[in-house]
Structure 1
């Protein structure tokens, strides 16, 4: 079973959401954050990425986190951010193109991460984990939500549909990518209680996005609980937005190679042809986010290669002896291409291997190769969300950059205080 909790959200004051809301801290670097802040001086990135304001300082220094806390307190003192008087659940809805995503913003329980009811499918990196641990601890708040998933549930969907049909959103803003983000508060005691009851009957939640934020929230509890100190209940809670499995979209996570040494483009393609059926793809719609297989069948391992101005479809037949993790396309590409052909054994740290995730048109990959910045691009097929569930249920860990979940939520619209 899992538990969700209403909370008193800290939110932008009326009319300030558009000025404050920002992209997540981890989708921009310091220079990009600095540029955004220059255009939007009240951007929440000043709180989530204060290192952008101190370019000459170590981004992980205490001075950076103290500045984040100072700006957060200043926003509250000036009334830019205000806290709701009563606990509530919230609906976070995103309209992006022809797709609408609707989830429940609430608090989850860090103790259920430790006991396994909140399940992960990726490893966290120590540097990123330490960064968010310090950020949460010093600011005393979860400033960005963990995106969680549950299996499809008819009654939850019915409640959310009814709640969003019967009232206007508290907030409507447009994100930089053109998606529309809406927040609705659920304050009716009977609805809040029923939703909390339903989740007790759900066996598990799955982290889709925010592995570092979730583990860091757990770290803060451990850090503050040393020497037997009893913490306020709120300190055990972590901000999350929970979506049903059919309310999210999974994209493939593309790979880019800076060079093919010791191979040439032709010898690289020849080596792939020795292990896979390779054929020119033909014309590709540059606006699409993925390439639809033409010869690969369900169960095959499929990836598309962009090399010297040509797309190729590469198909490696399914091996029934592989387990679920080994049979992921990204695992097969790593084990059968990157390691033996290019000697790339560390997909998390080798500088020759870069990643491009998300709802990005394939023209972005083509541009990076055509410009000479990269030697080759590899477009991966998306992983089914049920595969993610299955691997997490078994305690398995997927390779890095296996999935990119949509929607991507904005920071600054909902903040949870730990005390």
Structure 2
């Protein structure tokens, strides 16, 4: 069963919360972070993207960057921007985007659960990205990035969270510049805290990583290194997570663009597609796929509607995915992209950017063809995780995203 705990968060004063809050470190570039943090000494980008405070051209993986992150985090504590909670608490985090809300429980989850697959995964991690987070955690002695977990709804937990929101005033409540609202409550009643912990122990057999595989893996590796060095710390047995009930989550599409047609003419490429898809030109107006196994393709200023034919996919948890169908039948077989994780001819566009971004990439000449996919469902993610398989890379895009800096777990 799932082991979670309350913790003493390092968090901002109420007055500065909106200024501190930063988008996750891995969804924007150093240049974008520098622009967003400009004129704001309280921004958590000074910790999560600390290269913005170093000379231009500094290697973002250099020791200087991690040292600067530690220095800046301590400065935010010293100047009173951040303070540490006096006692261990749970936190309720509600996000609202375009009228849709989702509410999660912020806690620390067990590294042992991660190692024993009680916290289930659906992606491979890359060693270089793990090492980046290991270096950041080790230097700052903090987990600044939240791991986004999901679980099958437990009505009793939902009821506690709903009641707490109506009975108590939030600590933070602001709308970020992108229009997403962030509201956080502190759950500091001992009886309520114990009740939540016990409900997870009794009624939640596992949780699923929705977003944050590298952050989770890095926390586990830091813990292992501390144990090996004979310096285990109790706080390092746990890592920062926010757990959302599955019923409140939605996965956005994660689309693909490709630089060329692998030496084929447009006509030859369309002819090749005919073997595995029904292909229909639908004009200049973009339209998202409406159901599983439908695709939208943009090529030479024209949108096409593609439907996978029988025999192009299997019914197992991986084979039924549209990302698998596209990879096997188009990207690999026709366009020669064997490994989308390493091939420089392919790029990935999160659904939050809309189909207009696909048009922009192709019309600019940077890419030659784009594919829009029907989103993976939460149940598909759970099925794959339960089966012990992993999804193809860049299969899921979750929005809205939690902000860094509002709740940090120190180790």
Q: TM-score range by the shorter chain?
A: over 0.9
- The 3 A distance-change label for structure 1 pair 39 and 258 is farther
**Aligned 8 A contact 1:46 1:71 in 2:** yes
**Could you give the per-residue CA deviations for residues 27-49 of structure 1, whole angstroms, max 9, x where no partner exists?**
01111112222253321111011
**Aligned 8 A contact 2:250 2:377 in 1:** no
- Indicate whether 1:40 and 2:40 are aligned: yes
Equivalent residue for 1:203? 205
Secondary structure of the corresponding residue to residue 281 of structure 1: strand
Equivalent residue for 2:103? 102
Secondary structure of the corresponding residue to residue 14 of structure 2: coil
Equivalent residue for 1:92? 93
**Aligned 8 A contact 2:277 2:308 in 1:** yes
Structure 2: how far apart are the matches of 1:377 and 1:391?
26
Choose from 201, 215, 218 the match for 2:217. Answer: 215
Q: Which range moves more in the overlay, 88-97 or 261-270?
A: 261-270
**Cα offset, 1:56, TM superposition:** 2.5
Choose from 281, 293, 298 the match for 1:301. Answer: 293
* RMSD value, Cα: 1.6
Secondary structure of the corresponding residue to residue 15 of structure 1: helix
Structure 2: how far apart are the matches of 1:196 and 1:282?
55
**Cα offset, 1:19, TM superposition:** 1.2
Matches within 5 A, 1:158-197: 158-197=159-198
**Aligned 8 A contact 1:256 1:353 in 2:** yes
Structure 2: how far apart are the matches of 1:321 and 1:365?
28
**Aligned 8 A contact 1:301 1:318 in 2:** no
Equivalent residue for 1:153? 154
Equivalent residue for 1:118? 119
Equivalent residue for 1:135? 136
Secondary structure of the corresponding residue to residue 342 of structure 1: coil
**Cα offset, 1:394, TM superposition:** 1.3
Matches within 5 A, 1:179-328: 179-201=180-202, 202-227=204-229, 229=230, 231-282=232-283, 284=285, 291-293=288-290, 301-319=293-311, 321-328=314-321
Structure 1: how far apart are the matches of 2:395 and 2:81?
38
- Indicate whether 1:377 and 2:378 are aligned: no
**Aligned 8 A contact 2:8 2:84 in 1:** yes
Secondary structure of the corresponding residue to residue 267 of structure 1: helix
Structure 1: how far apart are the matches of 2:163 and 2:16?
27
Q: Which range moves more in the overlay, 309-318 or 347-356?
A: 309-318
**Cα offset, 1:158, TM superposition:** 1.1
Structure 1: how far apart are the matches of 2:326 and 2:191?
50
| TM-score with structure 1 setting the length | 0.94
Structure 2: how far apart are the matches of 1:12 and 1:264?
57
**Could you give the per-residue CA deviations for residues 388-410 of structure 1, whole angstroms, max 9, x where no partner exists?**
11111111110000111222111
**Cα offset, 1:310, TM superposition:** 1.7
Structure 2: how far apart are the matches of 1:321 and 1:208?
24
Structure 2: how far apart are the matches of 1:244 and 1:318?
34
**Cα offset, 1:321, TM superposition:** 4.5
| TM-score with structure 2 setting the length | 0.96
**Could you give the per-residue CA deviations for residues 245-293 of structure 1, whole angstroms, max 9, x where no partner exists?**
1111101100011222311233222211222101123564x6xxx7143
Structure 1: how far apart are the matches of 2:208 and 2:234?
22
Q: Deviating runs (4+, > 6 A) in structure 1?
A: none
**Could you give the per-residue CA deviations for residues 183-226 of structure 1, whole angstroms, max 9, x where no partner exists?**
10001111111111111121100000100000000010011111
- Indicate whether 1:394 and 2:384 are aligned: no
**Aligned 8 A contact 2:149 2:211 in 1:** yes
Gaps of 5+ in 1: none
